[in-house]
């Protein structure tokens, strides 16, 4: 298991690579050019410069998260081939600096969605929270509420210019059904697979978060059945998964350890986080400790261990502790993720030590 840490680059928050160096067991940095919007060209000099910073601190730059997919590809517009060509160009450039896995998602309009960035937990920490009743299924009403500033919705990576186009984007997706979105994903991957084989870079799709349709938009990577459908349709070892226990764990019907055992040979990147799911469908992110939430984290790690997992893993979103929400990105504080690493490695080490013990 190759432990990694997601880093947003110099000056983007208060966390530096020197902080990460002091966390035992971290071997790689999960990175990106975070100012790049979907469909934009990634310049080779910028890619090289970012990778050089990572390598200079003793880390591997093997995982990039995310190279975002342009909406024209997801919608299936005639212009999609232009944006796929740009994506292919980025893959070839990333291969030159040692990238082996690209984490991406195929969620329409929005990435992961929460209704509160800093919901307080009983211990005084705070975390990302999702209130199911606050999400309407009517796209026009939702666009009006978001643009009016109603609620505390977080739209990761959304520049103000794109937020102003919400009505236009909802309208563009009006005819995109689940089957059509799936067809467009398959088209995208079939274009990429020869280049992935050539460069030895694996595509690892991130599940939908939360794991059900929202805003009246389709979601197609949210369960055992939808994942199996994709892997069978594009049956190529370079088409794989980012298995996120927080995203898939938002739906208690998903048996996470069973899914890991089934898909382990196509899981190239593991996001491990814990969520506490309430009876009404709300959920909040909690510590990685298994008994704190609805995800049985020790059983998740055990499933990876028994499957001989050798891929990349990172602690996903954590709580904000000791006032760090003032200096960190929502969900991406230093302290709880560092403690999460030690918890995950502790479970892994105990399994290693128990090998051969009856």
* Residue-wise pLDDT tens digits, 202-226: 999 999 999 998 888 899 999 999 9
**CA distances to 115, 139, 144, 164, 209 from 149, in Å:** 12, 15, 9, 12, 22
Domains with residue ranges and CATH for the chain: 2-353 (3.20.20.150)
Output the pLDDT for position 148: 64
pTM, two decimal places: 0.94
Q: What is the pLDDT of residues 118-140, one digit of tens each?
A: 999 999 999 999 998 887 666 66
SS3 state of residue 72: helix
- Confidence bin at 182 (pLDDT 50/70/90): very high
Output the pLDDT for position 137: 63
| Average pLDDT value for the chain | 92
Residue 92 dihedral angles phi and psi, to the nearest 5°: -65, -40
**Which strands form 274-277's sheet, in the order they lie side by side?**
116-120, 126-130, 283-286, 274-277
Q: Which two tokens stand for residue 5?
A: 């840490």
- Confidence bin at 187 (pLDDT 50/70/90): very high
Q: What is the pLDDT of residues 62-97, one digit of tens each?
A: 999 989 999 999 999 999 999 999 999 999 999 999
Catalytic annotation, residues: 206, 244, 271, 316-317, 332
- Number of neighbouring beta carbons within 10 Å of residue 35: 11
Output the pLDDT for position 115: 84
Output the pLDDT for position 157: 47
């Amino acid at each position: 298991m190759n432990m990694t840490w997601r880093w947003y680059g110099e000056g983007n928050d208060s966390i530096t690579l020197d902080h990460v160096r002091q966390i035992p067991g971290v071997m790689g940095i999960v990175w990106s050019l975070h100012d790049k919007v979907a469909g934009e060209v990634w310049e080779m000099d910028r890619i090289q410069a970012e990778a050089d910073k990572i390598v200079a601190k003793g880390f591997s730059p093997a995982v990039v998260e995310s190279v975002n997919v342009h909406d024209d590809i997801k919608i299936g517009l005639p212009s999609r081939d232009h944006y796929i060509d740009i994506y292919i160009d980025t893959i070839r450039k990333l291969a030159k600096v040692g990238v082996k896995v690209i984490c991406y998602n195929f969620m329409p309009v929005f990435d992961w969605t929460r209704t509160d960035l800093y919901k307080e937990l009983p211990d005084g920490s705070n975390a990302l929270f999702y209130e199911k009743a606050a999400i309407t299924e009517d796209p026009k009403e939702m666009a009006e509420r978001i643009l009016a500033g109603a609620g505390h919705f977080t739209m990761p990576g959304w520049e103000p210019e794109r937020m102003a186009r919400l009505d236009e984007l909802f309208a563009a997706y009006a005819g995109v059904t689940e089957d059509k979105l799936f067809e467009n994903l398959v088209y995208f991957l079939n274009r990429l697979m020869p280049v992935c084989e050539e460069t030895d870079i694996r595509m690892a799709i991130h599940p939908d978060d939360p794991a059900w349709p929202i805003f009246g938009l389709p979601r197609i990577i949210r369960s055992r059945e939808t994942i199996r459908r994709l892997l069978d349709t594009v049956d190529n070892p370079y088409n794989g998964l980012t298995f996120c226990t927080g995203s898939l764990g938002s739906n208690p019907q998903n048996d996470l350890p069973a899914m890991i055992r089934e898909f382990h040979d196509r899981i190239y990147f593991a996001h491990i986080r814990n969520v506490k799911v309430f009876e009404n469908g709300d959920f909040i992110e909690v510590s990685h400790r298994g008994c704190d939430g609805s995800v049985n984290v020790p059983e998740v790690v055990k499933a990876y261990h028994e499957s001989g997992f050798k891929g990349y893993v990172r602690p996903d979103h954590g709580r904000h502790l000791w006032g760090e929400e003032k200096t960190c990105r929502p969900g991406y504080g230093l302290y709880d993720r560092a403690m999460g690493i030690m918890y995950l490695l502790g479970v892994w080490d105990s399994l290693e030590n128990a090998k051969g013990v009856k």
